[in-house]
Amino acid sequence: MRFRPCIDIHNGRVKQIVGASLTDEGDRAEENYVAGEDAASFARRYRDAGLEGGHVILLNATGSAFYEDTRKQAHLALEAYPGGLQAGGGITPDNAGEFLDAGASHVIVTSYVFQGGKIHYGRLAELVKAVGRQRLVLDLSCRKTEEGYVVVTDRWQRMTQEQVNIPLLERLSASCDEFLVHAVDVEGRAEGIEEDLVSLLGQWGSRPVTYAGGVHSYEDLELLKVLGRNHVDVTIGSALDLFGGGLKWDKVLEFCGVRA
């Protein structure tokens, strides 16, 4: 299980938010932490620790009054750690090259592919043609329903008809290099992981998968390692001491086999 660091940017600031609270109207979100440092400082810390495959997530819509400030912060991070970070948030075939040229190893995509509540395989093919399968991460962030875990799009505000399950992972794996899965109901709450979702992801393992959401203790990390069969990677936001939480950076790295 690898540790994948994160840099979430909202309204031009590095933040940790409650995922389910994010809304485009007024660019609002419930904030757990707002950093005094810029995105590049976090990128340099991750670079110096030798961590690869972290995520830079732009949390403003492309039409937002704050989008340009958020975009600039994302570029600062990517330029500070070229090849070490992935970039997501409003990615399309038209702008993906911009983030790759800025230093992203991969681009992370949800909403462009999931339109009108379902997967558009033609759009997915356009992305693969634009960036190559090996540089594409599909974000299958989801919420729990009576039917199972359902993919959500548009900064976690819109439900789709697509369930996260092994057949979906199998179908999409031919078109991407990795998956990123936020458990939106627990994202930013630091109240425990979505155990059923982690178990589902742990049953697969044909491509790298990173889980995000709810980690708040070292016991959560141990549980995630067991349920994910040691091949589901983890990212930690609000619970990490870098973002005001109680989990120590050095101890998390040690747990995931990284020498601090």
Who has greater pLDDT, 167 or 27?
A: 167
Q: What is the pLDDT of residue 153?
A: 87
d(CA 203, CA 71) in angstroms, rounded, equals 36
Confidence label for 76 from pLDDT (cuts 50, 70 and 90): very high
Q: What is the pLDDT of residue 78?
A: 98
Q: 115: number of CA atoms within 13 Å, CB side?
A: 9
Q: What is the pLDDT of residues 229-251, one digit of tens each?
A: 999 999 999 899 999 999 999 99
pTM: 0.93
Confidence label for 190 from pLDDT (cuts 50, 70 and 90): low
Asked whether the CA dihedral 109, 175, 210, 259 is positive or negative, the reply is: negative
Helix, strand, or coil (residue 185): coil
Mean predicted confidence (pLDDT) in 127-131: 97
The pair of three-digit structure tokens given for residue 247, joined into one six-digit string:
């989990």
Decide the pairing of beta strands 209-212 and 13-17.
unpaired
Mean predicted confidence (pLDDT) in 111-139: 94
Confidence label for 180 from pLDDT (cuts 50, 70 and 90): very high
Mean predicted confidence (pLDDT) in 199-223: 94
Q: What is the pLDDT of residue 201?
A: 97
Q: What is the pLDDT of residue 248?
A: 97
Confidence label for 18 from pLDDT (cuts 50, 70 and 90): low
Q: What is the pLDDT of residue 20?
A: 63
**Closest alpha carbon to 57 in 49, 48, 29:** 29
